[in-house]
Amino acid sequence: MAKIGDIKSVGNGFRFRFTCPITGKIQSRKNQNQAELEKIKAQLISDIDTGFYQQKVREAQAAKGKEKTTFITAVRAYEKERERDFARGDIQRSTLDTYLTQLRRLKPLYDLDCADLSTQHFQEIIDELPGKSADTPATQRTRKAHAIEYKRLQVWLVRHGYTATKFDPLKTGQKRKKVMWVPQPGEVQKVIEAAQGKWRAMIALMATTGLRQGEVRALAWDAVDFDRQRIFVKQAVKKAGKGGAGGVQIDLPKRDASVRTLSVSEGVLNLLKAMPNNGDLIFGEADGTPVDPNKIRFEVTKAIKRSGVEWRGSSSHTFRHFACSLFMQEFSNPKKVQQLMGHASITVTMDIYTHLFKEDEDARDGNRIAGRLGL
C-alpha cells in the first residue's frame, strides 16, 4: 500500500508527499489552495485503492518503451506478500504452503502479459484441476478453494496496477468435460515399431493392457504366466515418505480394485521373452530399482518422434486411454471395463471414457486388441 503523508504548508501554498506503489519513488502534489489539494489527495487515495493510478503509471512506462510485466513477475511479488502474512503470524505455515501450491497451478499463464489476463485464463486452470489420480477430476471443494485464492490474486493484481481487467466470478460447479484425444490403432502400431529394446515391449504392454506407469515399473517376472498368457497386477511403485522425500518404494496398489489379472497376447509375451532377465523387475534398472519415469517419458517421446505420428496426448498415459477406448468397443458391459482398468468406481470409468464408445470393430478381448496392433 502506498504511503501518503499529511498536507503541509510550504512557501506560498500547500503540499503532500506519497510513495508511488509501482516505482517506490516519493512523489508530491502541490496547490496554493488547501481545499483543492485535499480533493486531489482524496482522489489519489481512491485511484490507488481501485488500481487506476497504478495502471496509469504502467501505461506511461510502456509508452516509454519499457518491458511489459509478465504474469510470473506479478505472481512472485504476490507470493512474497503471502510470505509476509505468514511472518506476521496472520496465517499458519500449512496455509501458506496450500496457497503456494495453488499458485503453482497457474504456471501455464506465466508468460502472459498481465494486461492480457482474462477470467477465462483462470477458469481453464480450475476446469483442468486433477483429482487424486490422473483419471479423476478435482472435487468441487478443491476447485472452490483454488477459486477463492485466485480471486484474491485478481483483486491484488488490479489494486497494484498490473491489470485493469474486470474479472468475472469463477465457476466451481460441475467440471467441464474435456474431450480426450485417443490415437488410432495404426498410429500406436507405428510408435511400437519405432521403439527399441525393452521400450518396445513396455509400450506394447501398456497399449494392450492399459497398465498404469507405476504398475509397469513394478511389474516382476514372477507376475507373468507365459503358459496361460496372463499377468498379475499386484504391486505398484509409490513415493515414499511425505511428498516423496523418501524416494520410491514398491508396495501394494493404492486401491484393492487395482489388483487384477489381465490377458496378454502371444506377440507381447514374445517381446518380453526376448528381454534379458537381470533381476526381479522386468523393466528395472541394472541395480534392481524401478526405472525412472523421466527415462520412460524420454524414450516414449523419442519413439513417437521416430514414428512420425502427430501425438497430441501425454506420452505414456495416452496408451492407457487407448487401451480403455478399445476395451469399451469390445465389451458391452462397462463393469468389465472397470475391472480391466482397475478403477475403484465405475463412475470413474464412465465419467472419463464414456465419449470413447464407438462402433464395434470385431475384436472381443485383450488378445484381439493386441492382434489389431500386429502383436
**pLDDT value at position 264?**
95
**pLDDT value at position 56?**
86
What percent of the chain shows pLDDT beyond 70?
Answer: 86
Q: 231 Cβ partners below 8 Å, 6+ apart?
A: 209, 219, 223, 224, 225, 261, 262, 264
For the packed helices 266-273 and 198-209, what is the interaxial angle rounded to 10 degrees? 150
Q: What confidence category does residue 248 fall into, taking pLDDT thresholds of 50, 70 and 90?
A: confident
Q: What confidence category does residue 362 fall into, taking pLDDT thresholds of 50, 70 and 90?
A: very low
pTM above the 0.75 mark?
no
The lowest-confidence range among 235-244, 248-257, 293-302 is 235-244
Grid cell 523419442 in the structure block, residue: 302
| More confident site: 193 or 67 | 193
**pLDDT value at position 331?**
78
- Among residues 9, 361, 8, the alpha carbon closest in space to that of 185 is found at 361
Q: 184 Cβ partners below 8 Å, 6+ apart?
A: none
| More confident site: 27 or 106 | 106
Helix residue ranges, H only, 274-345: 293-307, 317-330, 334-341
pLDDT 10s digits, 253-301: 878 889 999 999 999 999 999 998 888 999 999 888 999 999 999 999 9
| More confident site: 238 or 202 | 202
Q: 359 Cβ partners below 8 Å, 6+ apart?
A: 329
pLDDT 10s digits, 310-342: 988 777 888 998 998 888 888 768 888 889 999
Average per-residue pLDDT for the chain: 85
**pLDDT value at position 178?**
56
Q: What is the mean pLDDT of residues 188-209?
A: 95
Residue 238 has pLDDT above 60, yes or no: yes
**pLDDT value at position 290?**
93
Q: What confidence category does residue 244 fall into, taking pLDDT thresholds of 50, 70 and 90?
A: low
What is the C-alpha separation between 318 and 207, in angstroms, rounded? 8
The lowest-confidence range among 82-96, 121-135, 141-155 is 121-135
Cβ–Cβ under 8 Å, residues 322 and 356? no
User: What 8-state DSSP symbol labels residue 242?
Assistant: G
- Residue 127 CA: distances (Å) to CA of 136, 143, 174: 12, 8, 9
Residue 202 has pLDDT above 90, yes or no: yes
Cβ–Cβ under 8 Å, residues 217 and 290? yes
Q: 320 Cβ partners below 8 Å, 6+ apart?
A: 206, 210, 211, 212, 341
Residue type, 94: S
